[in-house]
Amino acid sequence: FLIGGLWHGAAWTFVIWGALHGLGLSANHAWDSLRRRWRLKPRQTWWSKGLAMLATFHFVCLTWIVFRAESWSHTTEILRRLGAMQFSAANLALPVLSILLAGYLTHWMPNIAFARIRSAWSWLPSPAQAALIISVALGLYYLAGAEAQFIYGNF
């Protein structure tokens, strides 16, 4: 994993990022080994799976801070602000926040709503479907703003 970190670039942040992923995987394997040794059944409850996913997600997000930081001092500053809950204004434009909110709300829609939307979509004539798809694509294109720098472009 250290080599995997170095593959991304010759900086200590990448090495630390690789080491953290290696430690996370080692902790997972150690837990599985202990569970088997103590003959504990893996928890298959919805809350234990959810907790495991939540822990993994947050671990990976925290390691991405190390990965994307310009330096170790930058990493510690971000982590310090997270720990102190000191946030500056989000740099997301209102259209982006609107799209994120719409996506979040659709996550909580009941299944019957998706069935109704699918049914309504299938009844639309093909030209209307094409017009809607093109409108959404153009809207996203114009809302996109500046291009994000390709992080592997310097290799």
In the structure encoding, which two tokens stand for residue 32, read together? 């599985």
Give the number of other CB atoms < 10 A from CB of residue 6: 13
Hey, how many other C-beta atoms are within 10 angstroms of the C-beta on 63? 18
CB 54 within 8 A of CB 30: no
Give the residue carrying structure tokens 């997000």: 61
* Other CB atoms within 10 Å distance of the CB of residue 21: 19
Q: Which tokens hold the place of 155?
A: 């290799």
| Active site (annotated) includes residue 8 | yes
Give the integer Cα–Cα distance in Å for 63 and 57: 10
- Give CA–CA dist 74/13, Å, rounded: 10
SS3 label, residue 155: coil
Catalytic residue ranges: 8
